[in-house]
Amino acid sequence: IPPDLVSISDYERYARHFIRDDIWAYISGGAADEHTLAENLQSFARQPIYNRVLSDFSTANTRTRILGYELDSPLLLAPVAHQRLLHPYGEIATAQAAAAMNVPLIVSTLSSVALEQIAQHAGQWWFQLYWQPQREDNQTLLRRAIQADARAIVITLDAPVSGVRNRAQRAGFRLPDGVREENLVEFATSVNTAAEGESVIFKHFMKQRPSLDDLKWLREQTSLPLLAKGISHPEDAKALQEIGFDGLIISNHGGRTLDGVPATLSLLPAIRIAVGKDMTLLMDSGIRRGTDVVKALAAGADAVCIGRPQLWSLAVAGALGVAHMLRIFQEELEMAMALTGCATIDAISQDVFADRF
Ligand code: HOC
């Protein structure tokens, strides 16, 4: 690792040299005019916090409990698709780093290595489900994940269609030969079900997303903790809580689906009020610093998920890079807690904010 690679933005800067242009456009880009992509970062930058100087740090630690699991830190790796675009070992390298650093990994349905293979290298891992049009295919994926010791299931709901990905389109991005969605190869390729002249978005993609009944059905399929990812409205959060979801990931998909969705930092307080203190709330989209983790927790999250930084670090240095990136987050989180006077995760509250939302 070069000596001037000391922050997450340094990984982004270095990664640019290791990643070809169309892949860079795909992973870095957001939807449409990328307002949400920019806002995710700016919301953290704009939020001032206090430096507190009198707290007792004799028993300070970053440990926390999420959905019954003891974690060293409120950090998880977000589900990120197609990681062999960045490194020949792809998700295997990420899983090795996550295991070495004792950080839970959320494996994407769209992983470029089969989930069973990833699981062999992983520590604690969770499975992210993209709903498949046939219920039995979801059952197959769940069965495979549970068999391979997944410890929680996350269904992503904010991307029934992938959004207007102009940056990736302009760069002509396509999955290259040799990078496949390995978990899905046995399922029939989805055939466009819109009739001639009908909207493919309304009549095909939106027909294939999970209905509320499908989500209730999914709840009945597993006793593992079940989370929904991509939630931005308090009413959706409440409705999912009512049908038995254990947790939510407040996310705008890294600004990649609907441009104009507010930054997740600003969504957290209202969602926390809507679901109460006992519902597990994770968040992603724009975490780049230890201080961002403190701000997210102060705004109502229980833990955060890290997305793009895992791709940048994977591209730069494989498993070593991802482990180093996680180390940077851990050290910056400790530094941020030390300087905001929060000796434990429970001590982080809206009181750290120098200027309330
Ligand atoms: C219609 C399916 O999460 C990304 C991935 C893949 C999104 C698939 C949407 O590129 O953000």
| Separation CA 277–CA 266 (nearest Å) | 17
Residue 189, pLDDT above cutoff 90: no
CA–centroid distance, 250 to ligand 1, in Å, is: 16
253 classed as catalytic: yes
Each residue's pLDDT tens digit, 56-69:
999 999 999 999 99
Ligand 1 closest atom vs CA 79: 3
Can you tell me the ipTM of this complex? 0.94
Each residue's pLDDT tens digit, 195-220:
989 999 999 999 899 999 999 999 99
CA–centroid distance, 210 to ligand 1, in Å, is: 15
**The predicted structure's pLDDT at residue 222:** 98
Among 34, 91, 129, 162, residue to substitute to test ligand 1 (most atoms within 8 Å of Cβ): 162
Ligand 1 closest atom vs CA 165: 10
Burial (CB count <10 Å: 0-12, 13-18, 19+), residue 18: middle
CA–centroid distance, 162 to ligand 1, in Å, is: 5
**The predicted structure's pLDDT at residue 190:** 78
Query: Of all protein residues, whose CA lies closest to atom 2 belonging to ligand 1?
Result: 162
Q: What's the whole-model pTM score?
A: 0.97
The active-site residue out of 82, 87, 204, 253 is: 253
**The predicted structure's pLDDT at residue 188:** 80
**The predicted structure's pLDDT at residue 192:** 87
Percentage of the chain lying above the pLDDT 70 cut = 99
With bands split at pLDDT 50, 70 and 90, how would you rate the model's confidence at 357?
A: low
Average pLDDT over residues 297-301: 98
Percentage of the chain lying above the pLDDT 90 cut = 94
Domains of the chain: 8-352 (3.20.20.70)
Residue 25, pLDDT above cutoff 60: yes
The per-residue pLDDT of the chain, averaged, comes to 97
**The predicted structure's pLDDT at residue 74:** 98
The 10 Å CB-count burial string (b at 16+, else e) for 223-237 is ebbbbbbbbbebebb
Each residue's pLDDT tens digit, 77-99:
999 999 999 999 999 999 999 99
Structure tokens belonging to residue 266: 């600003």
| Separation CA 36–CA 284 (nearest Å) | 13
